């Protein structure tokens, strides 16, 4: 495998085939921490429910609208995330999302009415969560092929470890400094998403056996090399002066276009060409996935499969308190659920990698078992009953949550070529 490294850290990574590693490991670590500060915080927010009800003197249902609005914007604005990613690049969108997430949480800490939180966490942070999570997941899927299932499952455990750590930490923190300063601290910690976004370098897969082209086509082809083939993000659209370093001997048919030979130097720099009117660019939003019957069916499947994703983690602590369980012990239920989810995600990744049957069929089995675990909560009465249900639900949630979006890259759904638009379209349906 030949990798043409970029001169600058911000440049695109060029490979002759999907690397299944390389810079992809840095992207996987980045996605892990994006999960920590997005879904990890959302799922741990139930720790603050009772405090918010007492402070605002509102019912549980009105407080729950904070997260409901947040999740709605996270999913409904997915097409906007696609448009911005295709126009400015995944990295800049994730970094902007990190700023929005942090700003929303910081503003929420000064809320005087519950509707202030609707605006701050629901809309501002919700939009930021969308910009942070979906582009990061998309570019991670492009760096891996054979290991995609297991790597994505492992990287997505970030939210599980976050829940495990945040539940008792938030409980102790709000008892020490109050819920307002706790939210302020969380908002500042979420600025780490910006650093994670900075590591999301775009990737270009360039086959070694490309046919030669003639004079006029050469210029277009070199311009095309400067575009991220998977995300259709042109470096021309980023006013950052990014320069891409390539080796001319590794680019068939382009010995003299925009390149100046240097002796004994393997890498050379392609200067960013000026904008041309005749340059053809891909659409900012690819609706062709909506013509795929397999995609429509899978989207409807995902719509119903994810209905129960957030409710147990948000309400397990209030439910435990209502059954007479102390709040610190109730927080253990959420932590246990999080650890069980880690095993579910990793286990699902290994099962899908071994592929005993079609991956879509495996996913259907996971969802059926997830449904059973949700029904089990209605029969739980004491601490150990809720603990058992939390473990069962955590495992089954992990199997579905860690695999249902990466499965879009499978050829029997939409394939890797349309992966950049598929997650966003799927998320919009769920809104």
pLDDT at 57 over 60: yes
- The DSSP result for 54-119, as a single string, is HHHT--HHHHHHHHHHHHHHHHHTHHHHHHHHHHH-HHHHHHHHHHHHHHHHHHHTT-SSHHHHII
Using DSSP's 3-state secondary structure scheme, residue 203 falls into: strand
Tens digit of pLDDT for each residue in 306-363?
Answer: 666 777 887 888 888 888 888 888 888 988 998 898 898 888 878 877 776 777 788 8
Considering the chain, what percentage of its residues have pLDDT values greater than 70?
67
Question: Regarding predicted confidence, which is higher, 256 or 115?
Answer: 115
**Span 151-167, average pLDDT:** 87
Is the separation of the CB atoms in 108 and 56 below 8 Å?
A: no
Q: Residue 4 forms beta bridges with which residues?
A: 14
Higher pLDDT, 104 or 322: 104
> pLDDT (tens digit, 9 = 90+) per residue, 369-390?
888 988 899 888 889 999 999 9
246: pLDDT strictly greater than 70: no
Q: What is the pLDDT of residue 157?
A: 87
pLDDT above 60: residue 101: yes
> What's the token pair of residue 168?
């008792």
Interval 265-319: pLDDT, tens: 333 333 344 443 333 445 555 666 666 676 777 777 767 766 667 778 878 888 8
The pLDDT confidence band at residue 110, using thresholds 50, 70 and 90, is: very high
- Cα-Cα-Cα-Cα dihedral sign, residues 87, 300, 417, 93: positive
* Averaged pLDDT of the chain: 75
Q: Is the pLDDT of residue 392 over 90?
A: yes
Selection from 143-147, 336-340, 364-368 with the highest mean pLDDT: 336-340
Token couple for 227: 């575009």
The more confident residue out of 84 and 428 is 84
394 compared with 274, residue with greater pLDDT: 394
> Is residue 76 classed exposed, middle or buried when 0-12, 13-18 and 19+ CB atoms within 10 A define those classes?
middle
What pLDDT, on the 0 to 100 scale, is given for residue 217? 41
Q: Which DSSP symbol is given to 152?
A: H
**Per-residue pLDDT for 428 more than 60?**
no
Give the mean pLDDT of 99-115: 94
State which of 52-61, 117-126, 229-238, 340-349 shows the largest mean pLDDT: 117-126
The pLDDT of residue 16: 65
Average pLDDT of the segment spanning 222-243: 41
pLDDT of residue 154: 87
Question: What is the rounded CA–CA span in Å between residue 251 and residue 222?
Answer: 9
């Amino acid at each position: 495998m030949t990798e043409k490294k970029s001169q600058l850290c911000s440049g695109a990574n060029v490979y002759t085939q999907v690397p299944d590693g390389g810079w992809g490991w840095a992207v996987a670590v980045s996605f892990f921490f994006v999960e920590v500060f997005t879904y990890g915080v959302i799922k741990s927010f139930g720790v603050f429910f009772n405090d918010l009800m007492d402070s605002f003197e509102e019912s549980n249902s009105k407080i729950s609208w904070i997260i409901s609005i947040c999740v709605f914007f996270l999913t409904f604005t997915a097409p906007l995330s696609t448009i911005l990613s295709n126009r400015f690049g995944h990295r800049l969108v994730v970094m902007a999302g990190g700023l929005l997430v942090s700003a929303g949480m910081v503003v929420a800490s000064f809320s005087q009415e519950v509707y202030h939180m609707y605006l701050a966490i629901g809309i501002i942070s919700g939009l930021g969560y969308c910009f942070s999570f979906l582009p990061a997941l998309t570019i991670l899927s492009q760096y891996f092929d054979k290991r995609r299932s297991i790597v994505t499952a492992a990287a997505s455990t970030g939210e599980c470890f976050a829940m495990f750590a945040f539940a008792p930490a938030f409980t102790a923190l709000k008892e020490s400094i109050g819920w307002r300063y706790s939210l302020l601290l969380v908002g500042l910690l979420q600025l780490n998403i910006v650093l994670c976004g900075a590591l999301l370098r775009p990737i270009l897969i360039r086959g070694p056996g490309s046919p030669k082209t003639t004079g006029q086509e050469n210029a277009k082809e070199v311009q095309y090399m400067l575009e991220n083939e998977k995300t259709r993000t042109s470096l021309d659209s980023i006013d950052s002066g990014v320069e891409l370093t390539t080796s001319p001997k590794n680019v068939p048919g382009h010995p003299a276009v925009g390149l100046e030979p240097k002796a004994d130097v393997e890498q050379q720099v392609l200067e960013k060409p000026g904008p041309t009117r005749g340059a053809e660019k891909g659409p900012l939003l690819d609706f062709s996935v909506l013509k795929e019957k397999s995609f429509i069916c899978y989207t409807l499947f995902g719509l119903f499969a994810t209905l129960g994703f957030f409710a147990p983690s948000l309400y397990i602590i209030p439910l435990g308190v209502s059954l007479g369980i102390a709040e610190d012990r109730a927080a253990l239920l959420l932590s246990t659920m999080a650890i069980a989810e880690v095993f579910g995600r990793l286990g699902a990744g290994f099962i899908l990698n071994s592929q005993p049957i079609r991956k879509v069929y495996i996913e259907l089995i996971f969802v059926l078992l997830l449904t059973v675990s949700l029904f089990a909560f209605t029969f739980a009465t004491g601490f150990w009953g809720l603990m058992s249900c939390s473990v069962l639900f955590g495992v089954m949630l992990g199997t579905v949550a860690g695999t249902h979006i990466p499965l879009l890259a499978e050829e029997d759904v939409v394939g890797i070529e349309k992966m950049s638009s598929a997650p966003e379209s799927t998320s919009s349906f769920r809104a």
